Amino acid sequence: MTVKGSIKAVADIWTAYYSGLRHLFHRSYTLRFPEQRLVVEKGYRGRHLLHLDRCTGCGICAWICPEKCITIVPRGERWYPQYFYGRCCFCHFCTDYCPEYALEETVEFDLAEYTRDRLVWSPERLARPPAGKNDKYVFSVETPRGASNIPRVGAKPEK
């Protein structure tokens, strides 16, 4: 390697180190989930919300479901869908195809359970409004120290 080449190599390696070291002063991308939670915007395809008053039990949701995770179950005189979240891929074709607009997307996404039977959501459980969580971080590229998750405007400060 020529002298000029070696000098260039040293300079390039220093540039690489320098650009890495500068990131010591960048904000981090990651959050300490579940204590710190990202705000999920409306429109996110999370778990379903079933409006019991609108559902006619027609079964179109069960017909279109690609993963066959909907069963129509009787409740007295009426029939309602029951979901098995172990198989759901959250495509929300069921929501799209429901003729009565009885299904809705919610922003609730953390549905992990310890047992398989807890993943079966009865119509009554599906009808519960999503539990409010302490979501207060948003992703922004406009922070002075690089893109990061920052507390949402108006969010309560951390204790």
Partner 1 sequence: MTSVVSSEPSESGSQTLTISVGPQHSGSGHMRLIIEMDGDIIIRASPDPGYVHRGTEKIYELRNIIKNIPVIERPAIIDASNLNHAYIRAVEELQGIEAPPRAQYLRCLLNEMNRITSHLYWLSIFGVFLGHTTMFMWPLGDRELIVDLQEKLTGARITHSYIVPGGVRRDLPQGMKEEAIKRTQYLEKRLEEYDKIFFENPIFTARAKGVGKLSRDEAVKLGAVGPALRGSGVDYDVRKDEPYAAYPELDFNVCTRQEGDSYARSMARIDEIRESCKLIRQIVQKIPSGPFRRKAPIVVPRGESYSRVESARGECSVYLIGDGGDKPYRLRFITGSYRNMAIIAPVLIGGHMADMPTAWWSIDYWPVEADR
| Residue length of the chain | 159
Q: Among 14, 29, 44, 93, which residue sits at the site for ligand SF4 (rule: CB under 6 A)?
A: 93
Interface pattern 114-133 for ligand SF4 (x via CB under 6 A)? --------------------
CA gap 144, 121 in Å, rounded = 44
Q: CA-to-CA distance for 151 and 148, rounded, in angstroms?
A: 10
Q: Is 100 in the site for ligand SF4 (CB under 6 A)?
A: yes
CA distance 40 to 123: 24
Integer Cα distance of 82 and 39 in angstroms: 28
Tell me which of partner 1, ligand SF4, none is bound by residue 69, counting a contact when its beta carbon lies within the kind-specific cut-off of 5 to 8 angstroms. ligand SF4
**Which residue in the set 37, 46, 90, 122 belongs to the binding site for ligand SF4 (CB under 6 A)?**
90
Binding residues among 45-84 for ligand SF4 as defined by CB under 6 A:
55-61, 65-67, 69-70, 81, 83
Nearer to ligand SF4, 90 or 137 (CB): 90
Distances in whole angstroms, Cα of residue 54 to Cα of each of 35, 75, 99, 159: 36, 14, 10, 42
Residues that bind ligand SF4 (CB under 6 A): 55-61, 65-67, 69-70, 81, 83, 88-94, 98, 100, 102-103
